Structure 1
Amino acid sequence: MCTEECLRHAAEITASPAAPPPVSRRAALTGLTGLAGLAAVAGGALGPATPAAAHGSSTVRDLTHPFTTAFPTFAPGEEARRGPYKTIPDDGYYMQEWRIVEHTGTHVDAPVHFVPNGRTATQLTPDELVLPAVTISIRRRAAHDPDTVLTVADLRAWEREWGRIPTGAAVLLHTGWDRRAGSAQRYRNADAGGVMHFPGFGPDACEWLLSARGARCLGIDTLSLDPGDSTAYPVHFTLLGADRYGIENLTRLETVPARGATLVVGLVPWEQGSGGPARILALA
């Protein structure tokens, strides 16, 4: 559980200035100017924002799927496996042994996942992992069109209602797809040719969030930041190429307010990790 000390620490990190992470050459070419630091995150059309963690009445929302051997993976055969390692009758204590690929369950995509010499899980800094979050929903559209993507028009419409997306925020895309996670067949939603169909970020929306709003992280409640029918993965290349990170297989995004939440990304610093399973919490 997150103690009061933890909540205070999250608030301090979110409110304090921090130097932006290095920006790749690709990001520079797309017009990124870097992040001004989390002190500037609170700025925007609605004026200074107070981190949710600073309020004693904040609620912690768990956006993480339980890590199980049955959770669907991007490709069949990548599912986690586990077995006994130590038992109380035989050894006096209990431990399991797991076999996993790093991109299983609710997990982070670090830049090195798609970018040679990109930063690894151990190189993502604490100030990048506690950040303000906005939630944008395309759930109703996704219910009728599994190939739908978030567009720049969607982002502009959201800002007309909720105000400017803060610099350095995590932008979370709620599609409602997490409700299918109990069935690998429904979650992957592959057609007869093996092409998957689920919603994602559109490449134009990703580029706009980086260049116009300085987004630090994109998150989604599906198997991939890119839509399921993508074969070129432009969102992955653009986001990770800009030295930012992604989060996939989130859940319960409907419980996170459109703005005003603080995201806590509990990424294990896996050695040389291309990302990895993480506990994701939202405070609002």
Structure 2
Amino acid sequence: MCTEECLRHAASPQAEVSRRAALTGLAAAALTLGPSQPAVASRRQHTVRDLTHPFSTAFPTFAPGEEARRGPYKTIPDDGYYMQEWRIVEHTGTHVDAPVHFVPGGRTATQLTPDELILPAVTISLARRATRDADTVLTVADLRAWEREWGRIPTGAAVLLHTGWDRRATSAAHYRNPDAQGTMHFPGFGADACEWLLSARHVRCLGIDTLSLDPGRSTTYPVHFTLLGADRYGVENLAHLETVPARGATLVVGLIPWEQGSGGPARILALS
């Protein structure tokens, strides 16, 4: 409420000067902002892409017999609420490989810090080559060619390898792709490419849409030993990498802090 004192002040010459000054300032601000720019900037809208396969008992695992199992634990008719009981191997579905997975004394899932789990991402595609050669790997030459087109891979980034293999995940035989001797065949990171990404670009994470960072026919797993041995982590069985831009995305790795975990299932999102 305005008192008589306040009304007299509002009618005074000094108040008129103040009003004129305020209006002049607002007009200048409006010219600066432009006719269509709001005074308060709107929040940037992100596109969020889910790179996670649904966690199910049917999802293929690296070795037969490791598939997840589930059953009823509590039911609404009997207990008044619903819960399931699961039996899983940590490296099932879309999941993280923590350093301890291959390195004695390496860090566990609980020791990966939040700032390591939100990071810039680049996506490199070998999908066309993989349709012709299931054993193809990412090479240093591929990385240099990608950088000529898209620019330098950022320090501390996640490098995501799109092979198109996620389309096969509805069939364990198609996804593992074993030959008559049982050797699996699917694409992966080359050992030299992994070493170059660590030494020359200091990346934080490698991710792929297959069962393993190493190609399926590998028996020595050099990419795992090199990456996890450098105290970095990997993400396997990603989905929909074709929807992630080559650069400019942010990867969000929703890893559950599994106690003493060698990694574990995670919800993986890409924001751009």
* Shorter-chain TM-score range: 0.7 to 0.9
Classify the secondary structure of the residue corresponding to 1:231. Answer: coil
Question: What is the CA–CA distance in structure 1 between the aligned matches of 2:217 and 2:234, rounded to whole Å?
Answer: 18
User: What residue number does 1:128 align with?
Assistant: 116
Matched, 1:199 2:187: yes
1:220-235 equivalences in 2 (<5 Å)? 220-235=208-223
Give the count of matched residue pairs: 231
Shift of 1:274: 0.1
Classify the secondary structure of the residue corresponding to 2:81. Answer: coil
User: What residue number does 2:170 align with?
Assistant: 182
Deviations 1:110-138 (A, max 9, x none): 00000000000000000000000000000
Following TM superposition, the consecutive aligned residue runs of length 4 or more in structure 1 with deviations greater than 4 angstroms are: none
Q: What is the percent sequence identity of the aligned residues?
A: 87
Shift of 1:198: 0.0
Question: What is the CA–CA distance in structure 2 between the aligned matches of 1:58 and 1:96, rounded to whole Å?
Answer: 34
1:55-70 equivalences in 2 (<5 Å)? 56-70=44-58
155, 166, 172: which is aligned to 2:143? 155
Classify the secondary structure of the residue corresponding to 2:198. Answer: helix
Matched, 1:77 2:65: yes
1:223-262 equivalences in 2 (<5 Å)? 223-262=211-250
Shift of 1:56: 1.6
1:16-95 equivalences in 2 (<5 Å)? 56-95=44-83
Question: What is the CA–CA distance in structure 2 between the aligned matches of 1:231 and 1:221, rounded to whole Å?
Answer: 19
Question: What is the CA–CA distance in structure 1 between the aligned matches of 2:45 and 2:86, rounded to whole Å?
Answer: 38
User: What residue number does 2:258 align with?
Assistant: 270
Deviations 1:92-124 (A, max 9, x none): 000000000000000000000000000000000
The TM-score normalised by the length of structure 2 is: 0.84
User: What residue number does 2:268 align with?
Assistant: 280
Question: What is the CA–CA distance in structure 1 between the aligned matches of 2:255 and 2:45, rounded to whole Å?
Answer: 25
**Residue type of the partner of 2:231?**
D
Classify the secondary structure of the residue corresponding to 1:243. Answer: coil
Question: What is the CA–CA distance in structure 2 between the aligned matches of 1:117 and 1:93, rounded to whole Å?
Answer: 41
Classify the secondary structure of the residue corresponding to 1:246. Answer: strand
Deviations 1:133-171 (A, max 9, x none): 000000000000000000000000000000000000000
Matched, 1:106 2:106: no
Deviations 1:231-279 (A, max 9, x none): 0000000000000000000000000000000000000000000000000
Gaps of 5+ in 2: 1-41
User: What residue number does 1:208 align with?
Assistant: 196
Question: What is the CA–CA distance in structure 2 between the aligned matches of 1:69 and 1:56, rounded to whole Å?
Answer: 38
Classify the secondary structure of the residue corresponding to 2:214. Answer: coil
Question: What is the CA–CA distance in structure 2 between the aligned matches of 1:101 and 1:67, rounded to whole Å?
Answer: 12
Shift of 1:58: 1.3
The TM-score normalised by the length of structure 1 is: 0.81
Shift of 1:202: 0.1
Q: Which moved more, 1:54-63 or 1:151-160?
A: 54-63
Shift of 1:57: 2.3
RMSD: 0.9
Classify the secondary structure of the residue corresponding to 1:140. Answer: helix
**Residue type of the partner of 2:86?**
W
Relative to 1, partners in 2 of residues 1:270 and 1:59: Cα closer, same or farther, differing over 3 Å?
Answer: same
Shift of 1:55: 6.5
